[in-house]
């Protein structure tokens, strides 16, 4: 029996579109054939492929609110993989749950910019309103409230996710209304549409955002040349990856094209998890065709038939419009078989949705996730260009890189090369947030100074800008003439502004918490090191820090730099070291004059013993002894 045959759509009240509590009969149905029937539909959609495990689990959760034991057992038998593997994958991704987690799952974005806009007070308000503690599920199973890493809405925060759907521009009034809607068990589809509006906030356009190319124009220009010539053209344009590392795009395509393999793959990295970065969100909304055209040109150049768009789970709301865009292109013969009449040029794209794991932005972790596994970075070399998806040659590029590649092919390598600086050609999208009256997306030719961006967004009394997110650099006032480009300040796009009212120690503490939360735990130096770093910063914040702790952080950095498996661990100490360089007093004001103090409050832990012995004199306190 299928769900359609049963004549009922089963799911949580919140997702389901009716307000009635589940009847006993319904619960029985859920645990039996309808449940199995729905799982069958999902499994069929994904060809009963264990490689699609993450997508299957995500859909199971969308259907029933969490992944229950019965579902794990059923999937295990039909996919032919052990239960332990399914549970291990599900437990890796923060948006997946193996236990009931509230029909309404509320997650407040915990980036520093959300905090600066009052996020924590709104979280407290909601917890009080719903009589709930953060991280707990209400006794009636109605709601859970927690925090999540940056949701990519820093230009319109504070933001939250409710059952994966983004709500922006939160205010006390809006929180009041949301609390009421939850109490009334109003299905999400009946909440005011305005709550879910995500603005593009394009403040300055340029070569990319201002382009008026007709759909298919860049692809038609590319198909006039053979694959080799397209690679040469991208190389000559000087295009470098926009995802952060700045590797030569043409060179990457060339190595992949020349790598032996039964299949070649194109992957678009739309995981955009670096706090403060939201430019890919806007490109996915406004330049979908250009991005797909870049992917299709890459497929032409390297000889791929399959592409994947890895979309971060926080951007789930874009899924339907992206599917529609792909469908339109298929209908126009811009995707599919014999594209634009080129015999044998077959290429299509699947969308793969992430589930709340920042590390999956790292290209080899992303590929693991695409293969339905935990998103743990691979040993490199070999690199994805030769051993990527299913160990086949794979190009992984950022959303913006594919857009720029399409532009470069259309306008010609020479014209593209003429824009920007010698080693950073073309333009760059900057995501501006924080202390400024005009946050949003700004596009500039590479080489723009930090000061120019600050002037354009109207920032005043700025003391620091965090460039390229927590893993990037913090520049102080003395460095505002520095340029955004690979020769000076490379950036994936984040530009977080802090004025003189901010405590830069707290900014760094937020970033350190982010790294500790997002460490995938695979290697000990990072797993333990990021936790130690977090503890040390919390200890300083609590007034127990000493100079010894600052020296410890520098030692920790040396260990993490030299022995971490991937970039997350290697950059985890950056926020502290950079803010220490510019804002040492912000740390020193919080330090005790002692040379060392334990992170463990020994005197505090003896409080119970003092109570039992009815002693509270000086001699009963450790600090007073000796």
Ligand X SMILES: Cc1cc2nc3c(=O)[nH]c(=O)nc-3n(C[C@H](O)[C@H](O)[C@H](O)COP(=O)(O)O)c2cc1C
Q: How far apart are CA 553 and CA 533, in angstroms?
A: 7
Site mask, ligand SF4, residues 361-380, x = CB under 6 A? ----------------x---
Nearer to ligand SF4, 448 or 523 (CB): 523
Question: Tokens 């596009």 appear where?
Answer: 443
φ, ψ for residue 299 (rounded to 5)? -60, -40
Q: Which of 521, 559, 586, 610 binds ligand SF4 (CB under 6 A)?
A: 521
Segment near ligand SF4 (CB under 6 A); pick from 51-59, 240-248, 514-522, 576-584: 514-522
Q: Which of 504, 568, 573, 576 binds ligand SF4 (CB under 6 A)?
A: 568
Site mask, ligand X, residues 555-594, x = CB under 6 A? -----------xxx--------------------------
User: How many chain residues are in contact with ligand SF4, going by CB under 6 A?
Assistant: 14
Measure Cα distances from 485 to 245, 443, 456 in Å. 12, 13, 18
φ, ψ for residue 496 (rounded to 5)? -100, 125
Which among 299, 273, 491 is positioned nearest to 395, based on CA atoms?
Answer: 299
Residue 410 binds what, of ligand SF4, ligand X, none (CB under 5 to 8 Å, by partner type)?
A: none
Q: Which of 244, 307, 375, 525 binds ligand X (CB under 6 A)?
A: 244
**Residue 359 within binding range of ligand SF4, rule CB under 6 A:** yes
**Residue 574 within binding range of ligand SF4, rule CB under 6 A:** no
Provide Rg for the chain, Cα atoms: 26
Residue 361 binds what, of ligand SF4, ligand X, none (CB under 5 to 8 Å, by partner type)?
A: ligand X
For 449, the token pair is 């100074």
**Residue 519 within binding range of ligand SF4, rule CB under 6 A:** yes
The dihedral built from the CA positions of residue 519, 524, 525 and 531, taken in this order, carries a sign that is positive
Q: Label residue 580 exposed, middle or buried (CB < 10 Å: 0-12, 13-18, 19+).
A: buried
How would you write 536-588 as a 3-class SS string?
HHHHHHCCCCCHHHHHHHHHHHHHHHHHCCCHHHHHCCHHHHHHHHHHHHHHH
**Residue 602 within binding range of ligand X, rule CB under 6 A:** no
Q: How far apart are CA 184 and CA 88, in angstroms?
A: 35
**Residue 242 within binding range of ligand X, rule CB under 6 A:** yes
Q: How far apart are CA 367 and CA 476, in angstroms?
A: 37
Measure Cα distances from 626 to 471, 601, 604, 606, 619 in Å. 44, 17, 17, 17, 10
Q: Which of 396, 467, 494, 553 binds ligand X (CB under 6 A)?
A: 396
Q: How far apart are CA 436 and CA 427, in angstroms?
A: 22
Q: Which residues of 515-525 are buried (b: 16+ CB within 10 A; e: fewer)?
A: bbbbbbebbeb
What's the closest the beta carbon of residue 560 comes to ligand SF4, in angstroms?
Answer: 8
Segment near ligand X (CB under 6 A); pick from 240-248, 253-261, 460-468, 575-583: 240-248
**Residue 287 within binding range of ligand SF4, rule CB under 6 A:** no
Question: Tokens 């926009």 appear where?
Answer: 242
Q: Is 524 helix (H, G, I), strand (E, B) or coil?
A: helix
**Residue 464 within binding range of ligand X, rule CB under 6 A:** no
Segment near ligand SF4 (CB under 6 A); pick from 36-44, 153-161, 238-246, 565-573: 565-573
Question: Tokens 């100079």 appear where?
Answer: 547
φ, ψ for residue 351 (rounded to 5)? -100, 130
Residue 521 binds what, of ligand X, ligand SF4, none (CB under 5 to 8 Å, by partner type)?
A: ligand SF4
Site mask, ligand SF4, residues 451-490, x = CB under 6 A? ----------------------------------------
Positions in 427-456 near ligand X (CB under 6 A): none
Question: Tokens 């890493």 appear where?
Answer: 149
**Residue 523 within binding range of ligand SF4, rule CB under 6 A:** yes
Measure Cα distances from 309 to 56, 107, 304, 306, 320 in Å. 17, 25, 14, 10, 13
Q: Do residues 278 and 166 touch, judged by C-beta distance below 8 A?
A: no
Residue 569 binds what, of ligand X, ligand SF4, none (CB under 5 to 8 Å, by partner type)?
A: ligand SF4
Nearer to ligand X, 539 or 565 (CB): 565
Q: Which of 167, 467, 526, 550 binds ligand SF4 (CB under 6 A)?
A: 526
**Residue 244 within binding range of ligand SF4, rule CB under 6 A:** no
**Residue 528 within binding range of ligand SF4, rule CB under 6 A:** no
Positions in 269-288 near ligand X (CB under 6 A): 269, 271-274
Secondary structure letter of residue 226 according to DSSP? -
For 510, the token pair is 């937020």
Enumerate the β-bridge partners of residue 398: 269
What's the closest the beta carbon of residue 331 comes to ligand X, in angstroms?
Answer: 28
**Residue 311 within binding range of ligand X, rule CB under 6 A:** no
Q: Do residues 573 and 560 touch, judged by C-beta distance below 8 A?
A: yes
Q: Which of 29, 46, 66, 247 binds ligand X (CB under 6 A)?
A: 247
Nearer to ligand X, 216 or 250 (CB): 250
Segment near ligand SF4 (CB under 6 A); pick from 188-196, 274-282, 391-399, 560-568: 560-568
What's the closest the beta carbon of residue 468 comes to ligand X, in angstroms?
Answer: 11
Q: Would you call the peptide bond into 267 cis, given omega within 30 degrees of 0 as the criterion?
A: no
Interface ranges with ligand X (CB under 6 A):
241-245, 247, 269, 271-274, 359, 361-363, 396-398, 401, 566-568
- Chain residues in the site for ligand SF4 (CB under 6 A): 359, 377, 519-523, 526-527, 564-566, 568-569
């Amino acid at each position: 029996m299928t769900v359609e045959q049963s004549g009922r759509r089963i799911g949580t009240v919140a997702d389901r579109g009716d307000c009635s509590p589940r009847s006993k009969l319904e619960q029985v149905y859920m645990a039996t054939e309808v449940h199995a029937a729905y799982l069958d539909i999902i499994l069929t959609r994904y060809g009963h492929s264990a490689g699609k495990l993450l997508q299957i689990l995500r859909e199971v959760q969308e259907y029933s609110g969490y992944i229950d034991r019965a579902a794990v057992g059923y999937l295990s038998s039909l996919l032919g993989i052990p239960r332990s593997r399914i549970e291990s994958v599900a437990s890796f991704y923060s948006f997946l749950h193996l236990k009931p987690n509230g029909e309404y799952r509320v997650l407040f974005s915990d980036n520093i910019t959300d905090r600066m806009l009052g996020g924590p007070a709104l979280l407290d308000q909601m917890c009080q309103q719903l009589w709930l503690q953060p991280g707990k599920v209400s006794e009636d199973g109605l709601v859970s409230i927690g925090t999540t890493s940056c949701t990519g809405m820093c230009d319109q925060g504070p933001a939250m996710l409710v059952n994966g759907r983004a709500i922006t521009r939160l205010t006390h009034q809006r929180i009041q209304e949301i609390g009421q809607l939850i109490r009334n068990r109003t299905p999400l589809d009946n909440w005011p549409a305005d709550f879910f509006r995500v603005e593009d906030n394009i403040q300055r356009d340029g070569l990319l955002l201002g382009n008026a190319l007709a759909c298919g124009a860049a692809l038609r220009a590319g198909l006039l040349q053979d694959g080799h010539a397209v690679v040469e053209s991208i190389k000559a344009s000087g295009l470098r990856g926009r995802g952060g590392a700045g590797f030569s795009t043409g060179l990457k395509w060339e190595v992949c094209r020349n790598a032996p393999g039964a299949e070649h793959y194109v992957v678009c990295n739309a995981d955009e998890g670096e706090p403060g970065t939201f430019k890919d969100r806007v490109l996915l909304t406004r330049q979908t065709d250009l991005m797909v055209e870049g992917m299709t040109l890459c497929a032409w150049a390297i000889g791929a038939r399959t592409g994947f768009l890895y979309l971060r789970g926080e951007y789930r709301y874009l899924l339907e419009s992206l599917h529609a865009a792909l469908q339109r292109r298929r209908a126009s013969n811009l995707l599919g078989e014999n594209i634009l009449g080129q015999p044998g040029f077959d290429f299509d794209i699947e969308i793969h949705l992430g589930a709340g794991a920042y590390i999956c932005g790292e290209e080899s972790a992303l590929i693991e996730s695409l293969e339905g596994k935990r998103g743990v970075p691979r040993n490199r070399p070999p690199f994805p260009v030769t051993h990527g998806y299913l160990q086949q040659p794979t190009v992984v590029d950022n959303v913006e890189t594919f857009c720029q590649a399409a532009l470069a092919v259309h306008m010609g390598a020479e014209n593209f090369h003429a824009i920007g600086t010698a080693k950073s050609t073309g333009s760059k999208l900057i995501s501006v947030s924080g202390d400024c009256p005009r946050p949003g997306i700004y596009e500039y030719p590479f080489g723009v100074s930090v000061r120019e961006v600050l002037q354009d967004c109207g920032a005043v009394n700025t003391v620091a800008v965090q460039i390229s997110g927590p893993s990037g650099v913090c520049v102080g006032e003395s460095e505002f003439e520095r340029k955004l480009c690979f020769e000076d300040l490379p950036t994936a796009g984040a530009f977080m502004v802090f004025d003189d009212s901010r405590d830069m120690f707290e900014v760094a503490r937020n970033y350190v918490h982010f790294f500790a939360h997002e460490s995938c735990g695979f290697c000990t130096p990072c797993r333990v090191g990021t936790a130690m770093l977090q503890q040390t910063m919390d200890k300083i914040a609590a007034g127990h820090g000493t100079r010894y702790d600052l020296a410890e952080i520098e030692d920790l950095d040396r260990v993490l730099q030299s022995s971490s498996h991937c970039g997350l661990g290697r950059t985890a100490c950056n926020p502290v070291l950079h803010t220490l360089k510019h804002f040492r007093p912000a740390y020193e004001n919080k330090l005790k004059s002692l040379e060392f103090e334990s992170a463990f409050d020994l005197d505090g832990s003896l409080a119970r013993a003092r109570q039992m012995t009815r002693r509270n004199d000086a001699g009963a306190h450790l600090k007073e002894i000796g």
